[in-house]
Amino acid sequence: MNDLFFFVSDLHGNAVKYEKLFSHIAAKKPRAVFFGGDLLPSGLTYKASSKALPVPFVDGFLAPSLKALKDKMRDEYPDIYIILGNDDPGSEEASFVRYDLEGLWHYMHMKKMPLDDFTVYGYAMVPPTPFLLKDWEQYDVSRYVDPGCVHPGEGYRTVKPKGDIEFSTIKQDLAVLSGEDDLSKAIFLFHSPPYKTALDRAGLDGVMVDHVPVDVHVGSIAIKEFVQSRKPMLTLHGHIHESSKITGSWKEQIGDTMAYTAAYDGPGLALVQFTSKCLKSAERFIL
């Protein structure tokens, strides 16, 4: 059985990056591909050429491209696991659920699914940011919000929240998602990176808000504590594009857990390639 896995994140609707990914999937035939959120363009539409009319990105580009790839690869088409990110409007979730039901991919937010000998878990929420779209933002471990960030109850949402905004936390969600499961063979697909690691370093050096220095680490405390206490086999992250450039690392070992980020601030596609047999030997390619 093929033990090759791909991980990408933060493609932000860039069709060139997607097309590079699809070509690489067809050539290398991975067992599974993980998409770590922030997948859609800001305008939510796609134009095939300067003269073409814009079409909805998911229905007009992403889903048809993967359907064509599935038709081409047949039994070699990989399992695809997808979450959205804080730049992806929650109103687009229905499209991802629809194509999940059609068997094109597995939409994973607050879900778990088997993958061979492993279990994949998905979670899209991030701690509060300075940005105003709040569909995928939630309090982290408490109602504290870093200086310069906007509370989850403020800003705007494209869909009605499913829970109580003021009293829901990432910490609570992770407890519900994982339950009492043995996570020694678990793969967690997150959008947020864990706090104070090589994966969550933002370019905020010297930034002050009301004379208070801004924390340059912007990942989730709840995710970091969860990884340390529950020890999943592997965690996958995105969200902070510049982190690997600042820290010089796109992967980190946290206790017994390996963690990768596929977020990248360069012009190419950052593709993380790994096998379950040797997670420490994962490679990142810029295509």
Confidence of residue 44 (pLDDT cuts 50, 70, 90): confident
Does the pLDDT at position 1 exceed 70?
A: no
Confidence of residue 66 (pLDDT cuts 50, 70, 90): very high
Cβ contacts of 15 within 8 Å, gap of 6 or more: 46, 61
Does the pLDDT at position 78 exceed 80?
A: yes
pLDDT of residue 163: 83
E strand spans, the chain: 4-8, 32-36, 45-46, 55-56, 79-83, 106-107, 111-115, 118-123, 186-190, 208-209, 212-213, 234-237, 251-254, 257-261, 270-275, 283-286
pLDDT in tens, 114-137: 999 999 999 999 999 999 999 999
Do the strands 32-36 and 4-8 form a parallel or antiparallel pair, or are they unpaired? parallel
pTM for the predicted model, two decimal places: 0.96
* 41-67 average pLDDT score: 87
* 26-48 average pLDDT score: 92
pLDDT in tens, 167-202: 999 999 999 999 999 999 999 999 999 999 999 999
> For the chain, which domains are there?
4-286 (3.60.21.10)
Least confident of 21-30, 50-59, 71-80: 50-59
